[in-house]
Structure 1
Amino acid sequence: MGNATVAGSAKPRAGSWNLGAAQLSRRHVGDGAEEIRPLDEVAVDDVVASTPWRTFRWYAGQQHYSGTYWAATESDHVIYESRLELARLLFADFDVGVQRIAAQPFLLSCSVGGKERRHIPDYLLLTNAGPVIVDVKPRRQLASKTVAFTFEWTRSVLTARGWRYEVWSEPPPIELENVRFLAGYRRAWFFDPDVLAAVRSAVWEGIRIEEALSAVSAYPAPSVRAALFHLLWRQEFSVDMTQRLTTASVLRTAS
C-alpha cells in the first residue's frame, strides 16, 4: 500500500556492467566504529542493529526537511531527511509485515564498469518476507540519468545478494492522509485495555465507524473513538484506505 513505483523495476543487467565485488560498511552502536565487509558475508540482523551511517544535518537555508519520528515498530525514534522519507516511515510503521526499520543503514560500495561507486540507501525494512532496502526519491527526479544509474547498479548488487530493493516515490495523497491521521493513535500505552475490549466486541464485518462508536456507551466517547482508531492503526480492523477516512467508513474484520 502506498508504494509509488520504481525506476529500475526491469530485470537487473548486472552481467553487462561487470560489477565488482560489493562491500558494505556499517557503524557500530555506541562508539560508531566502522566495519567493512563483503556484502555477501554480512548478516542483515547486524545491519539492522547498526547506528545510522549518517545523521541528518541542520544548516541555514537547507532545502530539505529533517527530523525524527517515533516508530511504534521500533519503540524508538527513526531519522528522516525529507518529508517524503517521513511519509515512507509512516507507511513502514503502519505495515504489520515490517518487524524492524533502520534509517541510513549502510554505505554500499562497488566497482561498476571499472569505477568505484558508493551509495547510502535511505532505509532497511526487515519484513516477514525478508529484508527490503528502500531508496526514497521524488518522482520528478527519477528521470535523471545519474539517479537512474545509481538505482540500477544498487538494485543489481542487492538483488544478487538476495535482498529486495525498492525505489519509493510520492504515495496517493488520500492514503497518506489516512495513515498520517491513524499514526496519531500509534502509542499503545495511552489506551485502556477495557475500552479496547469493548470496542472489539462492538465491531463486526461491514459496520460503519459511527455505528461502532455509538454501540459502546459504557465509556466516554472520546476514549472510545481513540481506541477504535488505535485498533485501526494496529490493523485489527481495516477500512478502504484509498477513500478518505470518515465516520461513514465501513469496518472490515481480520480474515
Structure 2
Amino acid sequence: MSASSTLGTGFGSVVWSASCTVDDLLVAYEPGPADGAGLDVGPGWKRRWTTTWCLDGAELVCPVAELEGVPVGRTRPVRGFSWHPRQGHRPGLELLVSTGRLHGFESLEERRFLRAADFAGSVRDVLSQPFRLRYRAAGRSRTHIPDYLVVTRGGRWLVDVRPLHLVKDVDRPGFVAAAELARTVGWQYSVVAGWRPHVSGAIEALRAEARPMSHLLDLQERMVAVLADGAMPFGDLVRATSFPVMARAHALHLLWHRRIGVDLAEPLGDGSVVALAGGAPR
C-alpha cells in the first residue's frame, strides 16, 4: 500500500444490526492523491471517457456524459467468468434474499460482499461486471471493469472488491477513475478491502436462517413479546420459549430480517445482548 493510501478506521463502539448499513461493516481502501496522477480529467473528459455495456445481447458504448441514459435494468454482465481446476479463486452464483435471483461472484471476498449487501444494503438489484470503463491516464488509454453496480433504495453504488494485500499499483488508477465517474453521475463508490472484526461470521450465521419459516409454534412472536420488556442475552431469549432448540433458528431469522438487533462488533453467541429493532442497548 502506498504511503498516501489508507484504510478507513472510524469504528464506533456498537454496530447495531437492525439499523446498520454496509458502510458500517466494511473496511474501505481509500486511494491517495498519487494514485490518480496523470488521470485525464481535462476539459471534455466526460466525452472522451466511455462505458461499454451489454444491452439486449449487443454492446452499447456510452460516454460518461450520457451515462444516466443507460437502461441499467436491461443490461447484463459485460464479462463472463468460468471455472477450472487450477484457478486460484472461487467463482460461483449467490442467491440474494433481496432480489430473489442468482448473482455472480468471482471470489469468496466478492461473495462476502454480496451477503453483506443483501443483509444491510437496502438492495433492489445487483449487476456484476456492469460495464467496461475506458479512460485515459498518463497519456495512455486504459480500461477498468468494476465488480458490481448495486441499485439501492437510496441510489446507485459502484463497488470494487479487493483485499488490501491484493491491491497492486496497476489497480489504483482504475479505482480512481471509477471513483471519478461515480462522483460525476452522483453514485457512491467503494473499494471493499475487508470487514470489521466478527462481521463476516455473524452474517454467515444469520444468513443460514434467512429463508421463509413456519410460524406454527409462534416462536417468533413469543420472542418479540419477551423482548418488549427489555434487552437480554441471546441464550436467555431462546430459553424463554417452550422449544429453545427450534427458537434459535427463529431468533436468527428475526435478526436477519431486522425485527430484533444485536451488536455485530462483538462475537455472536449466547451472551450477545439482543433487543427489539428500535431498542439498541447503549
TM bin (shorter chain): 0.7 to 0.9
Quick one: which of 172, 178, 199 aligns to 1:175?
Answer: 199
Q: Is the 8 A contact 1:5 1:169 kept in 2?
A: yes
The question of 1:201 aligning with 2:217 is answered: no
The answer to whether the Cα contact below 8 Å between 1:2 and 1:175 also exists between their aligned partners in 2 is yes
Of 179, 188, 196, the residue aligned with 1:164 is: 188
Give the drift of 1:17.
2.9
Shift of 1:115: 2.5
1:157 offset after TM fit, Å? 2.1
In structure 2, give the amino acid aligned to 1:212.
L
The equivalent residue for 1:39 is 64
From the superposition, tell whether residues 185 and 45 of structure 1 become closer, same or farther in structure 2 (CA, over 3 Å): farther
Aligned to 1:59: 84
1:48–1:124: 8 Å Cα contact kept in structure 2? no
Change in CA separation of 1:44 and 1:225 when aligned onto 2, cut-off 3 Å = farther
In structure 2, the residue corresponding to 1:190 is in which secondary structure?
coil
Moved more, 53-62 or 130-139: 53-62
2:54 is aligned, of 4, 18, 27, to 27
1:92 is aligned to 2:117: yes
Structure 1 vs Structure 2: percent identity of aligned residues?
A: 26
What secondary structure is seen at the aligned counterpart in 1 of 2:28?
coil
**Structure 1 pair 11–48 and aligned structure 2 pair: CA distance change class (3 A):** farther
AA aligned opposite 2:96: A
Residues 135 and 96 of structure 1: CA distance in aligned 2, closer, same or farther (over 3 Å): closer
CA change 1:244–1:92 in 2 (3 A) is same
Matched, 1:221 2:244: yes
Counterpart amino acid of residue 250 in structure 1: V
Unaligned runs of 5+ in 1: none
Distance in 1 (alpha carbons) for counterparts of 2:74 and 2:193: 26
Supply the distance in 2 between the matched residues of 1:9 and 1:227 (Cα, whole angstroms): 45
Match for residue 238 of structure 1 among 261, 268, 274: 261
Aligned equivalents of 1:231, 1:138: Cα separation in 2: 31
Q: Indicate the SS of the match to 2:255.
A: helix
Q: Is the 8 A contact 2:54 2:75 kept in 1?
A: yes
* SS of residue paired to 2:110: helix
Q: Does 1:103 align with 2:128?
A: yes
Shift of 1:90: 1.4
Name the aligned partner's letter for residue 24 of structure 1: T
Contact 1:12 1:155 (8 Å CA) reproduced? no
Task: State how far apart, in whole Å, the 1-side matches of 2:33 and 2:254 are.
Answer: 38
Instruction: State whether residues 99 and 123 of structure 2, in contact with CA within 8 Å, keep that contact through their aligned partners in structure 1.
Output: no
Please give the alpha-carbon distance, in whole angstroms, between the structure 1 residues aligned to 2:135 and 2:39. 15
Distance in 1 between the 2:203 and 2:57 partners? 34
Is 1:96–1:234's contact at 8 Å kept on the other side of the alignment? no
CA distance in 2 between partners of 1:206 and 1:107 (Å): 49
**154-163 or 189-198, larger mean C-alpha shift:** 189-198
* Runs of 4 or more consecutive aligned structure 1 residues displaced over 6 Å after TM superposition: 9-16
Give the superposition deviation at 1:232: 0.3
Tell me the distance in 2 between the aligned counterparts of 1:208 and 1:10: 46
Give the structure 1 partner of residue 97 of structure 2. Answer: 72
Which amino acid counterpart does residue 181 of structure 1 have in structure 2?
A
Match of 2:41 in 1: 18
